[in-house]
């Protein structure tokens, strides 16, 4: 019988943010939680050239990181609707959130109401897809999320690129790759 066994070795993958196809926008979102329980989220909408279109930071108060991820996604989708965007690609580095969105058992989940609202919001776009990416492909949203817990409670819309996110955005536009360790799996027979 063959089975895969994790190895102590890792490969290094080089990952970078990727532009959406022509005519589409991309929303990258992220949530964060501080060591004392403060939570917030951030997101950026970029055009097919990778340019900043709009962004936001959201200070939620206290809670769990999954709440921050969920509220970040909800806020980003609402912002995209307000901006009359019709074709949207959405990326999040929360594999748990993406798995929950694909679940059919949302009614009983503590975040069920907001998760069901995502589906309604997404249906309002001509095309909208959501996928999981690694943090190394989500650095601008990560930067915005970290900044969110230093702002006043509530949503702050960012129609122009804030200076604190400029280096990450420029790195993405330049195609900068970031390393990520990928565990090697060995097949044992």
Specify if 183 maps to a domain.
no
Residue 162 lies in a domain: yes
Choose among 179, 91, 168: nearest CA to 136.
179
CA distance linking residue 54 with residue 62, whole number of Å: 26
Is the sign of the CA dihedral 78, 82, 86, 89 positive or negative?
negative
Task: Say which CATH number the domain at 122 has.
Answer: 3.30.420.10
Inside any domain, residue 149: yes
Number of domains in the chain: 1
Q: What tens-digit pLDDT sequence spans the chain (189 residues)?
A: 555 555 556 688 889 999 999 999 999 999 999 999 999 999 999 999 999 999 999 999 999 999 999 999 999 999 999 999 999 999 999 999 998 888 777 777 788 788 788 888 888 999 999 999 999 999 999 999 999 999 999 999 999 999 999 999 999 999 999 988 877 666 566
Domain interval for residue 56: 19-176
Beta bridge partners of 92: 29, 132
Residue at 9 is within a domain: no
Residue 13 lies in a domain: no
- The pTM assigned to this predicted structure is 0.88
């Amino acid at each position: 019988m063959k089975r895969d066994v994790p190895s102590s070795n890792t490969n290094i993958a080089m990952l970078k943010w990727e532009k959406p196809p022509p005519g589409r926008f991309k929303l990258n979102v992220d949530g964060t939680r501080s060591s004392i329980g403060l939570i917030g989220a951030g997101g950026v909408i970029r055009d097919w050239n990778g340019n900043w279109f709009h962004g936001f930071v959201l200070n939620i108060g206290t809670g769990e990181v999954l709440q921050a991820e969920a509220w970040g996604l909800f806020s980003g989708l609402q912002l995209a609707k307000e901006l009359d965007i019709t074709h949207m690609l959405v990326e999040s580095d929360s594999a748990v959130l993406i798995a929950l969105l694909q679940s059919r058992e949302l009614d009983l989940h503590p975040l069920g109401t907001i998760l069901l609202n995502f589906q309604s919001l997404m249906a309002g776009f001509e095309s909208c897809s959501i996928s999981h990416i690694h943090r190394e492909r989500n650095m601008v949203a990560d930067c915005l999320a970290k900044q969110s817990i230093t702002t006043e409670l509530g949503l702050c819309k960012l129609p122009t690129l804030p200076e604190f996110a400029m280096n990450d955005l420029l790195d993405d536009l330049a195609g900068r790759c970031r390393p990520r360790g990928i565990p090697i799996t060995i097949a044992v027979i």
